[in-house]
Amino acid sequence: MSTIRPTLILRLALLGDAVASGATGLLSFAGAGLLAELLGLPTPLLRYAGLLLLPYAAFVAWIGTRDRVAEAFVRIIVAGNALWALASVLLLTSGQIAPTALGVSFVTVQAAAVAAFAVGQAYGLRRQAAVAAHA
């Protein structure tokens, strides 16, 4: 498995993702009951999303703090973020949920943030490849 030395931009994109995912996961898991009322989202959806985000955040934080990481792990994180953002948009347009205006905003903003992390991580990965090629 090919390993890379993350550039600063890649490291920051990974660690930002870890912090945001951890905070959102904790909020969604611990506050699912209150959030469900405010956002018009199903309590189980919020709890399971939060439960999924907590180990994800720990994994991304671990990857973001390593001196060398498997490039495949970073690619998986980028792909996972892109899929999460797409799934969030599809959830809103599916008709399966009836979120409040605040709920639509919450899902839209988190989808945009996740997509931004994916773009930042992909850019950081490309920059890392350029730096390695010139070394």
Classify residue 28 as exposed, middle or buried by CB count within 10 Å of its CB (0-12, 13-18, 19+).
buried
- Residue 55: half-sphere exposure toward Cβ, Cα within 13 Å: 3
Tell me if 115 sits within 8 A of 85, measured CB to CB.
yes
The per-residue pLDDT for 128 is 81
Q: Where does the pLDDT of residue 26 fall: very low under 50, low under 70, confident under 90, or very high at 90 and above?
A: very high
Show the tokens assigned to 61. 């934080």
Helix (H) or strand (E) holding 4: strand 3-4
Enter the DSSP assignment of 24. H
Q: Has residue 15 got a pLDDT over 80?
A: yes
**Tens-place pLDDT, residues 85-134:** 999 999 999 999 999 999 999 999 999 999 999 999 999 999 887 766 66
**Tens-place pLDDT, residues 43-62:** 999 999 999 999 999 999 99
Indicate yes or no: pTM above 0.95. Answer: no
The per-residue pLDDT for 134 is 65
Show the tokens assigned to 69. 């990481």
Q: What is the DSSP string of 59-128?
A: HHHHHHT-SSEEHHHHHHHHHHHHHHHHHHHHHHHSSS----HHHHHHHHHHHHHHHHHHHHHHHHHHHH
Q: Has residue 42 got a pLDDT over 90?
A: yes
